[in-house]
Chain A
Amino acid sequence: MSANIVYAIIVTSLATFLSRFLGALTSEGIKETSKVFKWFNCLAYATLAALIARTIIFPAGVLVDASYYSRSIVVFLSLFVFFISKKNFVYPTIFSAISMAIINNYI
């Protein structure tokens, strides 16, 4: 293994584990019925929603190659599939991959 890559992997895993470990450590004194817990629950959901929205609207990596319109159309169509399939998670997910591959060639 190349030393630089191994160091980068170790540094990345340490940076990731730090937040997880601190979270596990500080949650020891928190009761699930407490206000702090409810607040953190809201923070977690809002943070995840922000991450997902940012990934779709301001993507990094491969998704940059797809236009804003094709990403938006795929997401809205996938949500439509999600609701008509009685909130099944798999159908819209597979649909999104296929439709993105097709739509991106036309928009």
Chain B
Amino acid sequence: MIKKNFFFKGYRSIFTHDSPAIALTCCFIAIGALFKNLGFNIQESIFSTVLTYALPGSLVMAESMLIGASLLNIFLAVWIVNARLYPMAVSLFPLMMHKSQPKWKYYFSCHFIAISAWLIMKSNYKNIPKKHRIDYWIGIGSATVSVSVIGTFLGFSFSEHLNKDMMLGLAILNPVYFLCMMIGASKTIPVTLSVLFGTILGPIIYLLSPEWSILIAGIIGGTLAYLVGEHSVS
């Protein structure tokens, strides 16, 4: 079963002084307000946040529903936008794999892969014994999902009081927070170059292929950064 002390250590990690809780709550406040404007009820809004738990995917679903897209279109659009979660999972789970832990924990907790939880885990995993990292991760994931649900509820409940300026403020907060976190995480040459190349290539490739820009920029930028990093080590 889940080791409680590591679970709660992970859960508490979201309440530190530089926690993503504020940014995450504000982002989901915006999503909650958007859901209400789309005609969702409170149960559907929270159901969506818990089951999807990925901001870009939720936004794509909302935009697709606005233009009356089919379920297949929604599936493909969300899958393309959220395909970034695949390299994120592959670059995180090997850090947590341990023979003594049952596999269901890994399959269940992959649902928590999202930028905020991923960056918290990447910053803290070295302080946790490898055997218990998965319990710590489940704690982080549970905390970030809880905060997201609270944000969705608040956004849905107070959507009528949020004017355009407030919505804009909430919308810029998310990219700024993650940009700061990415710069903060850039402590090695490959990671620094990955962030730099991704930042440059993302918007450039968007002009050529909006749907695939993030994945293509990630593959080209990440591969270049990896090769330069390997070369500098050798």
List residues of chain A with CB under 8 Å of any chain B CB. Answer: 1-2, 5-28, 30-32, 34-35, 37-63, 65-66, 71, 74-75, 78-79, 82, 87-90, 92-94, 96-98, 100-101, 104-105
With both chains docked as a complex, state the minimum distance between the C-beta of B182 and any C-beta of chain A, in angstroms.
6
Please judge, given known A-B contacts A27-B97, A49-B182, A54-B203, whether A7 and B75 are in contact too, CB under 8 Å. no
**B221 CB within 8 Å of chain A:** yes
Contact of B39 among A5, A30, A42, A94 (CB under 8 A): A5
Find chain B residues with CB under 8 A from A62 CB.
30, 164, 167-168, 170-171
**B196 CB within 8 Å of chain A:** yes
Find chain B residues with CB under 8 A from A88 CB.
17-18
A39, closest chain B residue (CB): B226
Flag B135-176 by CB within 8 Å of A: 1 or 0 each: 000000000000000000000000000001111111111111
Contact of B59 among A11, A60, A104 (CB under 8 A): A60
Q: Please, how many angstroms separate the alpha-carbon atoms of A61 and B164 in the complex?
A: 12
List residues of chain B with CB under 8 Å of any chain A CB. Answer: 17-20, 22-23, 26, 30, 34, 39-41, 43-44, 47-48, 51-54, 56-65, 71, 74-76, 78-79, 82-95, 97, 106-107, 110-111, 113, 115, 118, 164-185, 190-191, 193-203, 205-206, 210, 213-215, 217-223, 225-226, 229-230
* Interface of A, helix, strand, loop or mixed by DSSP: helix
Total CB contacts across the A-B interface at under 8 A: 330
With both chains docked as a complex, state the minimum distance between the C-beta of B11 and any C-beta of chain A, in angstroms.
19
Question: A58 contacts B203, CB within 8 Å?
Answer: yes
Find chain A residues with CB under 8 A from B71 CB.
7-8, 11
Q: Please, how many angstroms separate the alpha-carbon atoms of A78 and B44 in the complex?
A: 34
With both chains docked as a complex, state the minimum distance between the C-beta of B223 and any C-beta of chain A, in angstroms.
7
Question: B198 contacts A46, CB within 8 Å?
Answer: yes
Please judge, given known A-B contacts A17-B111, A46-B222, A47-B215, whether A8 and B61 are in contact too, CB under 8 Å. yes
Q: Please, how many angstroms separate the alpha-carbon atoms of A58 and B176 in the complex?
A: 14
Question: A41 contacts B191, CB within 8 Å?
Answer: yes
Question: B217 contacts A50, CB within 8 Å?
Answer: yes
Please judge, given known A-B contacts A45-B198, A75-B179, A89-B18, whether A27 and B94 are in contact too, CB under 8 Å. yes
Question: A37 contacts B91, CB within 8 Å?
Answer: yes
Question: A5 contacts B44, CB within 8 Å?
Answer: yes
Q: Please, how many angstroms separate the alpha-carbon atoms of A57 and B182 in the complex?
A: 17
Residue from B93, B171, B176 with most neighbouring chain A CB atoms (10 Å):
B176
A49-B197, A82-B183 are known; give 17 further A-B pairs, CB within 8 A.
A1-B44, A12-B51, A16-B82, A28-B97, A35-B230, A41-B190, A43-B218, A44-B194, A50-B199, A50-B214, A53-B200, A62-B168, A62-B170, A90-B17, A90-B22, A97-B170, A101-B169
Question: A90 contacts B173, CB within 8 Å?
Answer: no
Contact of B198 among A2, A14, A53, A59 (CB under 8 A): A53
